[in-house]
Structure 1
């Protein structure tokens, strides 16, 4: 789906095979950590659990390794390189969230890139809006769904997973090329 300013998203429903098994493995085997971030004059808890698999680290489920390889092969002509890292976020319930942001640390701040997100667990809404204001787009990410943000999306659009009144656990795995955060 084209957005504006050279940004686009691809959405593929029920893309990940064995989503139930992947979810259970991620819950049990990922070394989850709680993190804190500086917000103005104080440290606050990040409202989700995190872990990142760096270049060369084995992913916790072979389906995720296959997924990263398939995404790398499919998007290589446009991206020009493979997906190398896998960031994991565990949204334990509706209170866990991520605020509006773009992945603009590293190369994403100056060049077109891609971030591929696989979602397992309870459905949650991912919102996108043009940086600087404009109408937002809401995409519900279901169990096994894939969303790829590409082109200028990280620089010209922001995305968020807002808090909701009721939600079960959801885990997202974000595949990124080298030096995109």
Structure 2
């Protein structure tokens, strides 16, 4: 058994939340170091003839071949730092699967967000595993069935928690981190994944 916690039960999905995956002191140290050391970018996406900056800061790290494309953007991987390599190894030991890239999303305040989407890019392959580590402030993570407009499930992701999405989750479900008017602390999210090289 790789996990200590019961799964989140949703049809056509495999979701597990490990609330205390790393101790609070470790989560706090990782947050401070990563926020300070990461060369953050705020790319723009082109929609309806206009460019819009994404509402958060991002960075993509990975193995040399792990080029990642999403939302019309191409991310060439930054080389692994010692800290990110250490975190990746711990995540790999937990999920029992190889992972060769990590997307860092930095939500500075409640107006930074991530819209509805699925992690279903072709280079992630069929039934991808995405392991999401949360550091810093708590934010609500929403899920909805594809084709639905209403939220089907929400969970508060706290510092040190690890959410693992696998199986057919990305085929049938979308997720978001919505804007909020609540006072929230800055949050850092690391989503580890396996990117397949183009054949």
| TM-score normalized with structure 1 length | 0.87
Report the 3-state secondary structure (helix = DSSP H, G, I; strand = E; otherwise coil) of the residue aligned with 1:118.
strand
Q: Which structure 1 residue ranges, 5 or more long, are not aligned? A: none
**Alignment partner of 1:113 is 2:132:** no
Alpha carbons of structure 1 residues 135 and 122: separation in structure 2 relative to 1, 3 Å: closer
Report the 3-state secondary structure (helix = DSSP H, G, I; strand = E; otherwise coil) of the residue aligned with 1:33.
coil
Deviation at 1:47, TM superposition (A): 0.1
Kept in 1, the 8 Å contact 2:145–2:152? The answer is yes
Which of the residues 176, 181, 193 maps onto 1:176?
193
Kept in 1, the 8 Å contact 2:132–2:192? The answer is yes
Whole-angstrom CA distance in 1 between matches of 2:140 and 2:34 = 20
Report the 3-state secondary structure (helix = DSSP H, G, I; strand = E; otherwise coil) of the residue aligned with 2:55.
strand
**1:151 aligns to what?**
167
Whole-angstrom CA distance in 2 between matches of 1:26 and 1:60 = 11
Kept in 1, the 8 Å contact 2:45–2:53? The answer is yes
Deviation at 1:33, TM superposition (A): 0.6
Greater Cα shift, 146-155 or 66-75: 66-75
Kept in 2, the 8 Å contact 1:51–1:88? The answer is yes
The alignment's C-alpha RMSD in Å is 1.8
Which of the residues 59, 74, 82 maps onto 1:51?
59
**1:15 aligns to what?**
21
Which of the residues 8, 11, 17 maps onto 1:4?
11
Count of matched residue positions in the alignment of Structure 1 and Structure 2: 172
**2:117 aligns to what?**
101
Kept in 1, the 8 Å contact 2:19–2:162? The answer is yes
Deviation at 1:158, TM superposition (A): 0.2
Deviation at 1:68, TM superposition (A): 2.0
Kept in 2, the 8 Å contact 1:16–1:67? The answer is no
Q: Deviations over 1:148-177 (max 9, x none)?
A: 111111121000000001212000000001
Q: Which structure 2 residue ranges, 5 or more long, are not aligned? A: 1-7, 65-78
**Alignment partner of 1:87 is 2:103:** yes
Whole-angstrom CA distance in 2 between matches of 1:170 and 1:138 = 17
| TM-score normalized with structure 2 length | 0.80
Deviation at 1:104, TM superposition (A): 1.4
Alpha carbons of structure 1 residues 92 and 3: separation in structure 2 relative to 1, 3 Å: same
